[in-house]
Amino acid sequence: MLTVASYNIHKAVGTDGRCNPQRILDVLDEIGADVAVLQEADTRLGLRTSVLPENLLAARGWQAAPLGQQHHEGRAALGWHGNAVLLRGDVRLTHSHRITLPCLEPRGAVLADVAYGNHVLRLVGAHLDLSGLARARQMQAIIDAAAKAPGNPPELVMGDFNEWRRGGAALAVLARHWREVALGPSFPSRLPLGRLDRAFAHPALAVAAAAVHATPLARTASDHLPIWVRLGA
């Protein structure tokens, strides 16, 4: 089994207005995540830096995929346009790279191939356009990037797609390649109404379970609830 979480951590600022990075990692512990794709993991203005301190990640057993780009006073960005990948335990990173997305605002996605047991998974994490004007093109860019990456492992695409509509164009583009994993609403975390956080899986992946993680801690830690997918053999 491998449990993969996707979490828009809102720069570690919770619904109580407090910035608390440790609380984000506590939520991932509640889920029992082996791998986590994060959105809004870095500061947004100026030189981006991680909102999750490196020493805290290391103390909690997390390794970050080398996706960050900018440095400032020794502090590096954790991800690419806020998208980051964390892994721990026996999960190994075999390849990762940043994906540049067509956009009207700064947006990106990240790709990471991870090995667990005798399996390799291609994981894509994304945070898509808020306006909706570029989301379909962004989805196509993700599909193209996953196809061009070396090797051919099955893909799991997760993230904050910012799509409120069930039949939105971006989701239709993705659904032509992968099947959507059934999940409930995740935003806003206090009273979820929108299915903004979604997951799409290659048909070859055995999805044993999937859910929105809606504990009291998760409702406070960020304005989004995390989602998770558990893969079987």
Q: What is the CATH number of the domain that holds 208?
A: 3.60.10.10
Give the pLDDT band of residue 60 (cuts 50, 70, 90).
very high
Compare 174 and 47 and report the one with higher pLDDT: 174
What percentage of residues in the chain have a pLDDT greater than 70?
A: 94
Token reading at 116: 């667990």
Residue 179 has pLDDT above 50, yes or no: yes
129, 28, 121: which is closest to 81 by C-alpha?
129
Instruction: State pLDDT tens for residues 9-32.
Output: 999 999 999 999 999 999 999 999
Band of residue 207 on the pLDDT scale cut at 50, 70, 90: very high
Could you please report the per-residue DSSP string of 157-201? EEEE----STT-HHHHHHHTTSEEPP----BSTTS--B--EEEEE
Size of the chain, expressed as the number of residues it contains: 233
Please give the tally of structural domains in the chain: 1
Question: What are the residue ranges of helices labelled H in the chain?
Answer: 21-31, 54-59, 135-148, 169-175, 216-221
Structural domain of 224: 2-231
Please tell me the predicted confidence (pLDDT) of residue 17: 97
Would you say residue 103 has pLDDT above 80?
Answer: no
Confidence at residue 70, expressed as pLDDT on a 0 to 100 scale = 54
Which candidate, 35, 48, 219, places its Cα nearest to that of 121?
35
CA-CA distances (angstroms) from residue 177 to 60, 94, 152, 208? 35, 23, 14, 20
